[in-house]
């Protein structure tokens, strides 16, 4: 979850993802009742339940070089809860260009880091990490795993820094990197110095505007990812045509059982995403690797993940229904309830 905070009583949430069952052991602002819903909506509702006086703006979009400056300019403090390098460099650079503090947090397995990068008073993120690691060298939380308690510990440290900056009290983590080892239950601290040769906050900066951060980090851009996703997808109308022709394929619903009870497409087989991601063909209810499979979820995100997981297991004929059962209800069968 990416947060931008402005003063007391107002905050902005930026996230384009939906709540997944796998998020719940570490993203406690969500719950089982919000699986399949937009993360920004789930978080906003939970925050309103805690304190309805807090004004929460939501941005259900992918943060990018095209929109970061426009979004950030409305806020005083940028709080980073992301898990990828392009967004970290993007958030840092936008914060430097706007002269705002960037509160950094990072977690993996049993370890976490936190700092405040504020170029007006100390180093920025690029002063610490001038270049990103090679693609694939550092696993994401999904790939490497994370102790569920750890995000809460690092997140509370970040929240404490927000309050201190707002109140103008105490010693912030500007110029210091805090390292936490959960297994050893130890905190360590590294002193950070401003790099005079930093390309964005140094004496002779070369970065005057936001750049292409996916290219900088050597990973596919959002447009390339969308193009790749299109190769995996089939439209709801095409699925309807196949059903009408009684084509030989299996329609697999990868949502949770509670969602399946609310609404379903006739003839679909329920195999939740979590079971598929266990990479155990025995969980697939007798489905063969030679079968033609079309997967669907609520909006198309989980089914795309499931399709790629099945591909790794050796299933060749797999497609994801774009837009999920939401699109089915919208364009094929309006009697299917929406939730």
Bridge partners (DSSP) of residue 2 are: 14
pTM: 0.65
Distances (CA, A) of 160 to 102, 119, 146, 169: 13, 20, 22, 11
How far is C-alpha 309 from the geometric centre of its chain's CA atoms? 18
Distances (CA, A) of 175 to 89, 104, 148, 198: 17, 12, 28, 15
What pLDDT, on the 0 to 100 scale, is given for residue 219?
A: 67
What pLDDT, on the 0 to 100 scale, is given for residue 218?
A: 72
What pLDDT, on the 0 to 100 scale, is given for residue 226?
A: 60
What pLDDT, on the 0 to 100 scale, is given for residue 169?
A: 93
What pLDDT, on the 0 to 100 scale, is given for residue 139?
A: 62
CB 71 within 8 A of CB 60: no
State how beta strands 102-108 and 269-270 pair: unpaired
Report which of 259, 236, 264 is spatially closest to residue 332, judged by C-alpha positions: 236
Separation CA 264–CA 251 (nearest Å): 11
Alpha-helix residue ranges (DSSP H) falling in 15-169? 39-50, 68-72, 85-98, 125-128, 141-144, 150-167
Q: Which long-range contacts (CB under 8 A, 24 or more apart) does 64-67 make?
A: 64/90, 64/222, 65/90, 65/210, 65/211, 65/212, 65/213
Using 70 as the pLDDT threshold, list the residues of the chain that sit under it. Answer: 1-8, 134-144, 219-230, 279-285
What pLDDT, on the 0 to 100 scale, is given for residue 72?
A: 94
Could you give the residue numbers annotated as active site?
Answer: 141, 297
What pLDDT, on the 0 to 100 scale, is given for residue 1?
A: 41
Exposure on the CB side of residue 161, measured as CA atoms within 13 A: 28
């Amino acid at each position: 979850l990416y947060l931008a905070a402005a003063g007391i009583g107002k905050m902005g949430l930026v996230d384009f993802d939906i709540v997944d069952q796998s998020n719940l052991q570490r993203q406690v602002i969500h719950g089982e009742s919000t699986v399949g819903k937009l993360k920004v909506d789930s978080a906003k509702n939970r925050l309103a339940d805690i304190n309805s006086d807090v004004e929460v703006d939501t941005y259900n979009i992918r943060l990018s070089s095209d929109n970061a400056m426009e979004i950030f300019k409305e806020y005083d403090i940028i709080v980073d809860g992301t898990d990828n390098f392009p967004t970290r460099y993007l958030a840092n650079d936008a914060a430097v260009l706007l002269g705002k503090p960037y509160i950094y947090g990072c977690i993996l397995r049993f370890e976490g880091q936190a700092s405040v990068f504020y170029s007006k008073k100390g180093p920025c993120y690029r002063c610490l990490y001038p270049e990103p690691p090679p693609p694939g060298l550092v696993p994401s939380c999904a790939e490497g795993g994370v102790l569920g308690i750890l995000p809460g510990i690092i997140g509370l440290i970040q929240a404490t820094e927000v309050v201190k900056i707002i109140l103008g009290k105490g010693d912030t983590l500007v110029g210091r990197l805090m390292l936490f080892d959960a297994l050893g239950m130890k905190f360590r601290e590294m002193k950070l110095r401003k790099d005079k040769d930093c390309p964005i906050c140094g004496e002779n900066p070369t970065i005057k505007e936001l750049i292409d951060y996916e290219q900088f980090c050597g990973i596919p851009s959002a447009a390339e990812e969308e193009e790749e996703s299109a190769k995996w997808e089939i439209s709801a109308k095409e699925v309807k045509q196949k059903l009408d022709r009684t084509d030989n394929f299996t329609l697999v619903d990868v949502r949770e059982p509670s969602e399946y009870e609310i609404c379903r497409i006739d003839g679909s087989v329920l195999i939740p995403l979590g079971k598929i991601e266990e990479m155990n063909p025995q969980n697939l209810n007798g489905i063969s690797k030679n079968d033609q499979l079309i997967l669907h979820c609520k909006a198309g995100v989980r089914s795309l993940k499931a399709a790629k997981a099945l591909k790794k297991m050796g299933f060749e004929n797999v497609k994801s229904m774009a837009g999920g059962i939401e699109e089915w209800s919208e364009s094929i069968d309006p009697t299917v309830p929406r939730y």
